[in-house]
């Protein structure tokens, strides 16, 4: 990993954070937050609706809290919201009573003594110059009282470091602005002050701070912080001063006997109408008050670091988490339900009741059934309301449900819903009701609806009625057929068999018959079912009208009788439309005798059938199929042979290897299939055999193929064999050998790989050798060793692959590698330097990237600078896994180094092809620097 190499920005601003404070401004008068408009009724209700029902801890004594909202700097428009929320939080839950003040007099020792905690609510630039106030506040906390800070509370006390230290940090800047949606993680999901967030990170639309000054995880316990693993939280350029990626949002600490809680949430108004955040603030306040005990050991001192709960993928800000739509909460959901029509929003009525019932244990839901029945029976209730009640009966499922559903079914518009709910009851009472409906409803669509319930929920008692219905015209007849098929009992089967299968109805009756037999067989494969299914199958084989019907009958017979059915079915192999599927089904039996029969007939089967049989045999993964497959390997049909080879790879063991090896020299598809098959045969006997064959094989194709197979099998023992094969004159074998080395290379192989350099002849060799070299370099355990090895080869006379070796050097993270590359780039010979630059340009590594950029800036020769820059741009465009963001950043870094229009144009052209706002912004910023062409 080379993150620091890629971004050679100097980020050493730690020293600039915190310690320096500007000279104290003259004491500023408070900018009164009361200049802001008072809250409307709706705003007050919204806050009220978000308040938690109770406090997490019971106060030890009645608590008094000072909410201090004085501003000597920026006035947050959210202050009235926060004031209201903070006051009402205490009032509603009994956690405390609060006063709101903006007067410094509140900090006289006498005044402070009457409070248990002080909340600095969006206070800004408080000078807090009076030494008596300062001491009073410090004593207040030291003696065991509490301080809380909301948002701008860290932007105060510019001349009072102890005050800043008390809060635990100083506002530096807010790279995350009020409209940005940012990801927040729970540093400690299980901490009690994070309980409001239920163990999950979240997103928030909020202005969030970068904290500087006396902040540190060794001083305080961090609860929430920015989840910097999310790219949305990243900020461009040097906006983020901290190098440690630690951007806290909420924390607690102790000071003497007292406690401090701070959260930077509180800029946007809707923070104060978000239930989870208000809960979090209340918990923090109760901690500060000393009522809610929570561990405040500094985060860095924890023996076991907690696993943070990161932000989820769903970016919905926590303020937008929907709880209720903006329509007012219905005062009486039952009245709403009773009046419900599709023209009304469902939340107030049906959904509210659903939620109510669903939240109760089943035993308690029954109590509400009479109210549902009342609406059902009410003549003035709209149809839609009654329909909703039917579905709600599924939740209450009390004694009155089934009768009410049966009664509702007499209304045509409610029949379907009533049926659905009745089906869900699965009780004898509900079954009886369905049966009565089946017998009483005469209208065709209605009959179909009731019959449909017997398809997914069959009942033997309905047999007689369904049997009669099966003879009715469509749509009733076909539906009844399906319900009989679904019943799948012997009686149902008998009924279906008796139905005459003539004319238009023949096909659907046959289908129902098959379905019934097949279903019965699947659910209960007993001898009785087998006999019944056999009879059905044999009957239908004779009657079947289409090839698909014949296939279906054949498959049923096979399901019923297995291999014994083969004799009956063999004649079907002569029918081309059926042969492929039948051959497949027969082969899937994995029966030796059946496979022998197939083997004998293979040559007479159409090509598609051969393929189907062979492929199916392969899917059985059974050694029983091997003789059949070996025979197929010699089939006259060209497409059968590769299929057979593939299948052998799945069914065979090492004993089939030689048959496959023999085909490695065959042209085209067969050899490919044989390679694939050999790479699948079971280990380890196969590797031994293949290595053996490699030693004695004569042909170039075969030996090359064997090497590749052994490589795919990850056979390490082949590595030395491949090394020797690199010396072969045959280009094919040599290419395979280098490929094999690249695939099998392991840690410690670097010397062996570099030693192969003289053997390279063709570009295929070079390509694979480069892959091997890069892998071996990355895997080398000792980086210094890697550098030594690579440099030794570089220095040796006659080394041709210098560019590749230089590229490999850029992979090593070690000062020796840096030194070696630097000295290469500082070679007094300009041509040699250019060679190095070109080598770096083709390396495609992050290390090369950094070096090219540096050289593009620092080289004294302008042609070298241009060469390096172009190499850099090329690499940015082609580096394998560079994100869009990093690409744009890469181009941005190069821009100041462009000396010519050509490079500027090249960069802009490249960035124009990158999608996203960062790329667009870059183009807009720089495109006018291009001279007109």
Kindly state whether residue 486 participates in binding other proteins, applying the rule CB under 8 A.
yes
Six-digit token pair at 341? Answer: 């029509």
Cα angle 183, 184, 186; round to 5: 150
Kindly state whether residue 679 participates in binding other proteins, applying the rule CB under 8 A.
yes
Select the span of 118-126, 495-503, 668-676, 691-699 touching other proteins (CB under 8 A).
Answer: 668-676
- Give the count of beta carbons closer than 10 Å to the beta carbon of residue 537: 26
Least separation, in Å, of the C-beta of 427 and other proteins? 8
The SS3 of residue 209 is strand
Kindly state whether residue 904 participates in binding other proteins, applying the rule CB under 8 A.
no
**Residue among 369, 376, 379, 325 at smallest CA distance from 347:** 325
Of 681, 790, 851, 869, the one binding other proteins (CB under 8 A) is 681
Q: Are residues 890 and 882 in contact, defined by beta-carbon separation less than 8 angstroms?
A: yes
Least separation, in Å, of the C-beta of 572 and other proteins? 12
Q: Are residues 587 and 569 in contact, defined by beta-carbon separation less than 8 angstroms?
A: no
Of 92, 241, 242, 344, the one binding other proteins (CB under 8 A) is 344
Kindly state whether residue 325 participates in binding other proteins, applying the rule CB under 8 A.
yes
Q: Which is nearer to other proteins, 342 or 896 (CB)?
A: 342
Kindly state whether residue 360 participates in binding other proteins, applying the rule CB under 8 A.
yes
Of 65, 277, 278, 485, the one binding other proteins (CB under 8 A) is 485
Kindly state whether residue 190 participates in binding other proteins, applying the rule CB under 8 A.
no
Helix or strand (DSSP H, E) at 786: helix 783-795
Of 778, 799, 813, 842, the one binding other proteins (CB under 8 A) is 778
Q: Are residues 821 and 806 in contact, defined by beta-carbon separation less than 8 angstroms?
A: yes
Of 279, 453, 529, 841, the one binding other proteins (CB under 8 A) is 453
Sign of CA dihedral 601, 603, 608, 613: positive
Least separation, in Å, of the C-beta of 678 and other proteins? 9
Q: Which is nearer to other proteins, 592 or 712 (CB)?
A: 712
Of 612, 812, 897, 906, the one binding other proteins (CB under 8 A) is 612
- Which residues in 411-440 contact other proteins (CB under 8 A)? 416-417, 419-421, 423-427
- Which residues in 556-585 contact other proteins (CB under 8 A)? 556, 580-581, 584-585
Q: Which is nearer to other proteins, 143 or 383 (CB)?
A: 383
Kindly state whether residue 474 participates in binding other proteins, applying the rule CB under 8 A.
yes
Q: Which is nearer to other proteins, 34 or 546 (CB)?
A: 546
Least separation, in Å, of the C-beta of 360 and other proteins? 8
Kindly state whether residue 803 participates in binding other proteins, applying the rule CB under 8 A.
no
Q: Which is nearer to other proteins, 312 or 815 (CB)?
A: 312
Judged by CB under 8 A, the number of residues near other proteins is: 124
Q: Which is nearer to other proteins, 828 or 880 (CB)?
A: 880
Q: Which is nearer to other proteins, 129 or 229 (CB)?
A: 229
- Which residues in 521-540 contact other proteins (CB under 8 A)? 522-523
Say if strands 221-226 and 181-186 run parallel, antiparallel, or are unpaired.
antiparallel
- Taking CA atoms, 819 is separated from 439, 789, 840, in Å, by 94, 15, 15
Six-digit token pair at 56? Answer: 């997490």
Select the span of 57-65, 90-98, 297-305, 665-673 touching other proteins (CB under 8 A).
Answer: 665-673
Q: Which is nearer to other proteins, 143 or 717 (CB)?
A: 717
Least separation, in Å, of the C-beta of 638 and other proteins? 5
Six-digit token pair at 54? Answer: 């109770």
Kindly state whether residue 743 participates in binding other proteins, applying the rule CB under 8 A.
yes
Least separation, in Å, of the C-beta of 734 and other proteins? 17
Q: Are residues 786 and 793 in contact, defined by beta-carbon separation less than 8 angstroms?
A: no
Kindly state whether residue 26 participates in binding other proteins, applying the rule CB under 8 A.
no
Select the span of 5-13, 182-190, 323-331, 718-726 touching other proteins (CB under 8 A).
Answer: 323-331
Six-digit token pair at 154? Answer: 């860290």
Least separation, in Å, of the C-beta of 391 and other proteins? 8
- Give the count of beta carbons closer than 10 Å to the beta carbon of residue 107: 22
Q: Which is nearer to other proteins, 252 or 742 (CB)?
A: 742
Sign of CA dihedral 129, 132, 138, 141: negative
Q: Which is nearer to other proteins, 26 or 361 (CB)?
A: 361
Give the alpha-carbon dihedral of 249, 253, 258, 259, to 10 degrees. Answer: 30
Least separation, in Å, of the C-beta of 101 and other proteins? 39
Kindly state whether residue 274 participates in binding other proteins, applying the rule CB under 8 A.
no
Of 519, 561, 703, 892, the one binding other proteins (CB under 8 A) is 519
Say if strands 97-101 and 181-186 run parallel, antiparallel, or are unpaired.
unpaired
Kindly state whether residue 408 participates in binding other proteins, applying the rule CB under 8 A.
no
Distance CA(169)–CA(211), nearest Å, equals 6
3-state helix, strand, coil in the chain (%, to 5): 60, 5, 35
Report the b/e string of 314-343 with b at 16+ CB within 10 A: eeebbbeeeeeeeeeeeeebbebbbbbeee
Helix or strand (DSSP H, E) at 17: none
Q: Which is nearer to other proteins, 112 or 360 (CB)?
A: 360
The SS3 of residue 182 is strand
The SS3 of residue 245 is coil
Distance CA(590)–CA(852), nearest Å, equals 63
Q: Are residues 529 and 520 in contact, defined by beta-carbon separation less than 8 angstroms?
A: yes
Kindly state whether residue 594 participates in binding other proteins, applying the rule CB under 8 A.
no
Of 501, 675, 855, 904, the one binding other proteins (CB under 8 A) is 675
Of 153, 626, 646, 894, the one binding other proteins (CB under 8 A) is 646
Least separation, in Å, of the C-beta of 583 and other proteins? 8
Kindly state whether residue 300 participates in binding other proteins, applying the rule CB under 8 A.
no
Kindly state whether residue 668 participates in binding other proteins, applying the rule CB under 8 A.
yes
H helices of 51-122, in order, are 79-93, 109-113
- Which residues in 624-643 contact other proteins (CB under 8 A)? 638-639, 641-643
Contacts of range 132-138, beta carbons closer than 8 Å, 24 or more positions apart: 132/108, 133/104, 133/107, 133/108, 134/160, 134/162, 134/163, 136/107, 136/108, 136/109, 136/112, 137/107, 137/112, 137/163, 137/166, 138/162, 138/166
Kindly state whether residue 857 participates in binding other proteins, applying the rule CB under 8 A.
no
Kindly state whether residue 861 participates in binding other proteins, applying the rule CB under 8 A.
no
Of 91, 162, 332, 445, the one binding other proteins (CB under 8 A) is 445
Kindly state whether residue 395 participates in binding other proteins, applying the rule CB under 8 A.
yes
Least separation, in Å, of the C-beta of 792 and other proteins? 22
Kindly state whether residue 728 participates in binding other proteins, applying the rule CB under 8 A.
no
Of 134, 200, 235, 530, the one binding other proteins (CB under 8 A) is 200
- Give the count of beta carbons closer than 10 Å to the beta carbon of residue 878: 10
Least separation, in Å, of the C-beta of 452 and other proteins? 5
**Residue among 65, 111, 62 at smallest CA distance from 89:** 65
Kindly state whether residue 504 participates in binding other proteins, applying the rule CB under 8 A.
no
Of 124, 210, 279, 457, the one binding other proteins (CB under 8 A) is 457
Kindly state whether residue 775 participates in binding other proteins, applying the rule CB under 8 A.
yes
Q: Give the chain's end-to-end CA distance (angstroms, integer).
A: 41
Of 385, 670, 756, 809, the one binding other proteins (CB under 8 A) is 670
Phi, psi of 149 (to 5 degrees): -130, 135
DSSP string, 789-811: HHHHHHHSTT---HHHHHHHHTT
Phi, psi of 796 (to 5 degrees): -65, 140
Kindly state whether residue 119 participates in binding other proteins, applying the rule CB under 8 A.
no
């Amino acid at each position: 990993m080379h993150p620091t190499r890629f971004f050679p920005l100097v980020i050493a601003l730690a020293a600039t954070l915190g310690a320096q404070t500007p000279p104290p401004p003259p004491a500023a008068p408070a900018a009164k937050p009361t200049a802001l408009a008072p809250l409307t009724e709706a705003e007050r209700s919204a806050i009220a609706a978000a308040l938690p029902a109770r406090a997490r801890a019971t106060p030890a004594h009645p608590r008094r809290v000072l909410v201090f909202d004085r501003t000597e700097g920026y006035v947050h428009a959210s202050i009235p919201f926060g004031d209201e929320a903070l006051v009402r939080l205490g009032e509603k839950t009994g956690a405390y009573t609060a006063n709101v003040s903006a007067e410094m007099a509140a900090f006289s020792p006498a005044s402070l003594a009457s409070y248990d905690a002080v909340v600095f609510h969006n206070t800004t630039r408080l000078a807090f110059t009076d030494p008596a106030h300062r001491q009073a506040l410090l004593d207040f906390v030291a003696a065991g009282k509490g301080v809380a800070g909301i948002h701008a509370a860290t932007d105060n006390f510019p001349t009072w470091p102890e005050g800043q230290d008390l809060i635990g940090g100083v506002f530096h800047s807010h790279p995350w602005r009020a409209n940005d949606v940012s990801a927040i993680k729970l540093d400690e999901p299980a901490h009690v002050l994070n309980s409001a967030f239920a163990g999950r990170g979240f997103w928030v639309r909020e202005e969030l701070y970068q904290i500087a000054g006396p902040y540190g995880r060794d001083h305080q316990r961090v609860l929430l912080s920015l989840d910097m693993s999310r790219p949305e939280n990243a900020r461009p350029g040097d906006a983020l001063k901290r190098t440690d990626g630690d951007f806290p949002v909420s924390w607690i600490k102790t000071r003497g006997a007292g406690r401090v809680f701070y959260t930077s949430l509180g800029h946007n108004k809707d923070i104060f109408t978000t239930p989870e955040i208000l809960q979090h603030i209340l918990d923090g306040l109760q901690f500060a008050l000393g009522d809610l005990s929570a561990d405040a050991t500094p985060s860095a001192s924890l023996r076991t670091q907690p696993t943070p709960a990161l932000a989820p993928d769903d970016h919905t800000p926590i303020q937008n988490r929907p709880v209720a739509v903006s329509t007012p909460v219905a005062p009486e959901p039952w009245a709403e339900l009773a009046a419900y029509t599709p023209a009304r929003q469902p939340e107030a009525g049906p959904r509210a009741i659903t939620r109510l019932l669903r939240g109760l244990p089943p035993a308690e839901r029954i109590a509400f059934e009479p109210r549902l029945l009342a609406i059902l029976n009410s003549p003035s209730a709209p149809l839609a309301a009654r329909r909703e009640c039917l579905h709600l009966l599924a939740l209450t499922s009390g004694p009155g449900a089934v009768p009410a559903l049966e009664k509702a079914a007499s209304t045509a518009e409610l029949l379907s819903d009533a049926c659905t709910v009745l089906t869900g009851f699965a009780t004898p009472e509900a079954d009886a009701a369905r049966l009565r409906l089946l017998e009483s409803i005469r209208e065709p669509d209605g009959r179909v609806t009731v019959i449909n319930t017997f398809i997914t929920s069959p009942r033997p008692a309905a047999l007689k009625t369904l049997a009669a219905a099966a003879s009715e015209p469509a749509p009733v007849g076909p539906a009844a057929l399906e319900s009989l098929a679904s019943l799948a009992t012997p009686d149902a089967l008998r009924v279906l068999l008796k139905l005459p299968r003539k004319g238009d109805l023949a096909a659907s009756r046959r289908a129902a018959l098959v379905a019934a037999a097949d279903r019965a067989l699947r659910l209960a494969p007993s001898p009785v079912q087998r006999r019944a299914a056999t009879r059905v199958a044999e009957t239908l084989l004779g009657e079947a009208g289409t090839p698909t019907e014949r296939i279906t009958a054949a498959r049923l017979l096979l399901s019923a009788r297995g291999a014994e059915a083969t004799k009956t079915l063999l004649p079907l192999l002569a029918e081309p439309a059926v042969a492929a599927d039948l051959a497949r089904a027969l082969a899937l039996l994995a029966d030796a005798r059946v496979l022998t029969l197939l083997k004998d007939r293979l040559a007479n089967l159409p090509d598609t059938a051969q393929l189907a049989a062979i492929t199916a045999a392969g899917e059985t993964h059974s050694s029983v199929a091997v003789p059949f497959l070996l025979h197929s390997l010699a089939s006259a049909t060209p497409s059968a042979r590769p299929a057979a080879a593939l299948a052998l790879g799945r069914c065979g063991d090492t004993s089939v290897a030689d048959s496959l090896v023999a085909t490695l020299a065959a042209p085209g598809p067969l050899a490919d299939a044989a390679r694939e098959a050999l790479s699948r045969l079971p280990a380890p006997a196969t590797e031994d055999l293949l290595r053996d064959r490699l030693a004695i094989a004569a042909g170039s194709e075969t030996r090359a193929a064997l090497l590749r197979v052994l490589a795919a099998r990850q056979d390490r023992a082949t590595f030395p064999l491949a090394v020797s094969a690199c010396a072969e004159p045959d280009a094919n074998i040599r290419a395979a050998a280098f490929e094999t080395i690249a695939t099998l290379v392991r840690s410690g192989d670097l010397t062996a790989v570099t030693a192969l350099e003289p053997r390279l002849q063709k570009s295929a060799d070079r390509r694979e050798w480069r892959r091997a070299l890069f892998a071996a370099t990355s895997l080398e355990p000792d980086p210094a060793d890697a550098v030594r090895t690579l440099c030794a080869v570089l220095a040796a006379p006659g080394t041709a692959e210098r560019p590749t070796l230089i590229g490999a050097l850029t992979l090593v993270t070690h000062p020796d590698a840096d030194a070696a590359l630097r000295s290469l780039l500082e070679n007094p010979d300009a041509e040699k330097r250019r060679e190095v630059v070109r080598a770096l340009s083709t390396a495609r590594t992050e290390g090369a990237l950094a070096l090219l950029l540096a050289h593009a800036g620092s080289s004294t020769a302008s042609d070298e600078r241009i060469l390096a820059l172009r190499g850099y741009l090329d690499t940015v465009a082609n580096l394998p896994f560079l994100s869009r963001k990093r690409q744009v950043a890469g181009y941005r870094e190069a821009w100041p180094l462009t000396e010519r229009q050509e490079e500027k144009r090249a960069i802009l052209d490249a960035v124009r092809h990158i999608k996203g706002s960062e790329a667009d912004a870059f183009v807009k910023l720089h495109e006018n620097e291009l001279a007109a062409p």
